Structure 1
Amino acid sequence: MKLFVLGPSVFGTTTIECTPSTQIRDLRKSVSERMPGLASENFRLSHWGRPLRDEISLEEAQLADEFTLDVSGSIRGGGGDGGSTGAESRSSYLEMYAEKKPDKVDPAEERLASWMTCRLSGNWLTPPCCADRLGLLYNKDSVLEAILNKKLPKELSHISAKSLTDLKLMPNPAFSERCKSTANQANFQHAGAAPFVCPVSGIEANGRSRFVVLRRCGTVVSAKALKQLPESVEELVGYRWDPSEVMPLNPPKDEMEAMREALVIEHLEAKARKEKKRRAAEIKGQKEKGAVGGASSAAAGPHAAKRYRASEHAPSYADAGVYASLFTSSRAGEAKETYMCRATSARGMNLT
């Protein structure tokens, strides 16, 4: 088959002989040979404005005999450089949007969400609630179920039933089911009010103010009330609280990391104390066992280990050998004793 290729005005029209199975890539090379100075990588072939891909054949491109093809030059710099996007570099343009960037989270909404949802299940916080040693809040039912089923995530492996602190949270009268329904996981600011408040100062637990828990009783109060009104807090809990039992709730990330490191150190120290106690008990047991064995040997006397010999206790009027023959120990190993006689193998021995 014969095709006409219309090139730039300098070259004019060229006739190319080819077959239906010829690929467009090979056809471009033939055109480049007929038009010196025009490299095959610097132009594209098209038919009536339709670009022809290099990997297809003339038959696949639906080109027939005596069709006219156009030569169009490639524009340098097009596509992938922040400007225009040529068809040959469209993939570079698409790659810019292939990876979806995560949406930015408002820190205020994130803090409010930590006081409204369970850190494990993501459900709304509903009493009974509890906190772990890092000050994170959970629905107690969800945590206990995960512990029993051994389905705690790796990042929450520090949680155990003994390490949880039951929380006494003061409900916010201004918070209602309507506030909960208007809030969602995408925007917690729509709630308008926090679900819990400080029982002393009335400050809302919305993440803007610092809150703590007294681990001995589980009462949750604001840090401001604990600092400015300690007497009121003592009256509320019914005892004189100690600073060592104060634990922050939903602390900042840097403070949480410090608490996590302290928790790891405490775990290692407890493990070392347990191992030391076990070794001390083991050494004490060995000493007691040795003392009992020594006392029993001393009580037995010097003749306890001496073997009894019948010949040494024979009467003065008896022959020692004859007296010793009355006892089986004097003939140990010579004959086996049965129920018929003392020594069947020796039956009749003295009769000959």
Structure 2
Amino acid sequence: MEPASQNFQIFVRFPEFRIPTRALIFQNPNPNLTLHHLKSSLFPTNSIPHSSLFFTLNGKPLPDSTPLSQKSPIAPLSTLTLHLRFNGGGGDGGATGAESRDCYLNMYAIKKPDKADPNEMRLSKWLNCSLSNEPLRHPVVIDKLGNLFNKEALVEGLLKKSLPKQYGYIKGLKDMIAVDLAEIPGAREVGTVKFQCPIAGVEFNGNYKFFALKSCGHVMSAKGFKEVKSSACLICHKEFAESDKLVINGSEDEVKELWEKLTEEKAKANNGKKSKKLRNGDAKGEEVAKLAGTKHGIEGNGVKSNGKESTKKFKATAPANATKAVYDSIFTSSKKKSDFKETYSCRSLPLGRN
């Protein structure tokens, strides 16, 4: 009974020869069959010198004496790559400065991190929360610079005081504006929630400019505002001013303009607080004046003053029938110190006291 045939199949790539990958099947291969014989079968001697060709497996070069059989270090169905060696002139990989050619190949075998896709970054900015980077889901809020947030994530960051420094201008709920994003019908069934302009139908993905109305919170595209010109919201018909339109994820210049407006608003608010404190200080001054005896414009000496001088400080004066010595004795000590001299070494023991 004849033994069952054993097939040994491999694949050979030719990246430098512009030849498609070949599948080679060896039926009951000879144990003496090596890569040198394989090169001879692929390229005749008169076309390319065999010394200029070498095989690699997973980036590692293989010697020509490597056998092609079941006991070969080359596993069945492996993919070999045939390279062309360029001798002389430098840059041929002969001198790498490394301990071995294997170190050199491994250095370039490390996959470098892929660069961020600008389209993915743009979509993430429009479809994800700026704080948690999770997909936007209602309730959604927007800050005064046009950044989108999941309200739950933003409130949690405020309570835990864990907001990044770049969002330090958000102090509470007054710095958030609730917005209403119109979902694309059927998008939720696919598994991804996407939004659109309810008027123009353009997708909320960064390819079009969108505005949020601070008065009602509805979000529409600039194209929708342009197609239907109105001073009222096209969804809820609430009147709005041009200053109520807040651009979402605006350009660098638009964000800079919004930041200037935000700074002006905070400056006005701080000035209002200062003026309120000053008014409270005037009220306290009036109470002090009343305690000092200036209530109803009457000074401490019983003389009535006009309204402008009602806050004049109280000045104590001696009664007409009291001498200056008696009156001074009430507030200060009228006893004069004895005339004596003190020594330089001990001021607490004046001379003549004994």
- Give the TM-score normalised by structure 2: 0.51
Unaligned runs of 5+ in 1: 1-76, 181-193, 310-352
Conserved? CA contact 2:233–2:239, under 8 Å: yes
Q: Structure 1 residue 142 and structure 2 residue 142: aligned?
A: no
Residues 184-225 of structure 1, C-alpha deviations (whole Å, 9 max, x = no match): xxxxxxxxxx71111112111111011110011111111111
**Cα shift at 1:235:** 4.3
CA distance in 2, matches of 1:236, 1:251: 23
| Letter of the structure 1 residue corresponding to residue 184 of structure 2 | N
Answer whether contact 1:126 1:139 (CA < 8 A) is retained: yes
Q: Tell me the equivalent position of 1:230.
A: 229
For 1:153, the equivalent position in structure 2 comes to 164
SS of 2:141 mapped into structure 1: strand
Displacement of 1:178 in angstroms is 2.5
Contact 1:200 1:233 (8 Å CA) reproduced: no
Q: CA, structure 1 residues 88+226, in 2 after alignment: closer, same or farther (shift >3 Å)?
A: same
Q: Deviations over 1:119-176 (max 9, x none)?
A: 1111111111111111111111111111112111111111222110111111111412
Query: What whole-Å deviation, never above 9, does each CA across 1:211-261 have from its counterpart, x for those lacking one?
Result: 110011111111111233133953422222101111011212342233234
2:273 aligns with 274
Q: Does 1:85 align with 2:90?
A: no
Are the structure 2 counterparts of residues 175 and 255 from structure 1 closer, same or farther at C-alpha, using a change threshold of 3 Å? same
2 CA distance for matches of 1:259 and 1:295?
Answer: 51
1:248 alignment partner AA: V
Identity between Structure 1 and Structure 2 (%): 36
- Give 2:121's aligned amino acid: E
Q: Helix, strand or coil: the match of 1:236? A: coil
Q: Following the alignment from structure 2 to structure 1, what is the Cα–Cα distance between the partners of residues 272 and 243? A: 21
Q: Could you say if the C-alpha distance between residues 205 and 294 of structure 1 is closer, same or farther in structure 2, counting changes exceeding 3 Å?
A: same
Aligned to 1:171: 183
CA distance 1:197–1:276, change in 2 (3 Å): same
Residues 281 and 100 of structure 1: is their aligned pair in 2 closer, same or farther, counting only changes over 3 Å?
farther
**Hey, what does 1:67 align to over in structure 2?**
none
Residue correspondence of structure 1 range 69-108 to structure 2 within 5 A: 84-87=95-98, 103-108=114-119
- Asked if 1:111 is matched to 2:119, the reply is no
TM-score by length of 1: 0.51
Question: What SS does structure 2 have at the residue aligned with 1:166?
Answer: strand
Contact 1:132–1:163 (8 Å) recurs in 2: yes
Which residue does 2:350 correspond to in 1?
A: none
Equivalent residue, structure 2, for 1:209: 208
The residue aligned with 1:65 is: none
Change (3 A) 1:273 1:301: closer
**Compared CA separation, residues 149 and 299, structure 1 to 2 (3 A):** same
2:263 maps to a residue whose letter is V
After TM superposition, give the deviation of residue 307 of structure 1 in Å.
11
Pairing of 1:283-322 with structure 2 (within 5 A): 283-287=282-286, 289-290=288-289, 293-296=292-295, 298=299, 301=302, 306=319
Helix, strand or coil at the partner of 1:234:
coil
Counterpart residue identity of residue 170, structure 1: A
Whichever residue aligns with residue 143 of structure 2, its letter is D
The alignment partner of 1:237 has SS state of coil
Task: After the TM superposition, list the runs of 4 or more consecutive aligned residues in structure 1 that deviate by more than 6 angstroms.
Answer: 302-305
Q: Which one of the candidate residues 128, 137, 142 is aligned to 2:139? A: 128
More RCO (CA 8 Å, sep 6+) = 1
Structure-1 separation of matches of 2:104 and 2:175: 53
Flag the 1:89–1:306 CA change in 2: closer, same or farther, 3 A. Answer: farther
Task: Tell me what 2:218 maps to.
Answer: 219
Distance 1:85 1:208 in 2: 48
* Larger Cα-atom Rg: 1
306 and 86 in structure 1: CA distance in 2 versus 1, 3 angstrom threshold: same
Distance in 1 separating the partners of 2:266 and 2:94: 58
Aligned pairs, number? 219
Q: Which residue number in structure 1 is paired with residue 263 of structure 2?
A: 264
**Which amino acid in the other structure matches residue 251 of structure 2?**
P
Deviation at 1:306, TM superposition (A): 4.8
Equivalents in 2 of 1:178, 1:171: separation in Å?
A: 13
Specify the alignment match of 1:251 in structure 2.
250
CA–CA distance in structure 2, aligned partners of residues 283 and 83 of structure 1? 90
C-alpha distance in 1 between matches for 2:159 and 2:124: 26
Q: Would you say the 8 A contact 1:165–1:218 is kept in 2? A: yes
Q: Is the 8 A contact 1:225 1:233 kept in 2?
A: no
Query: Aligned partners of 2:136 and 2:216: how far apart in 1?
Result: 20
Which residue identity is paired with 1:143? L
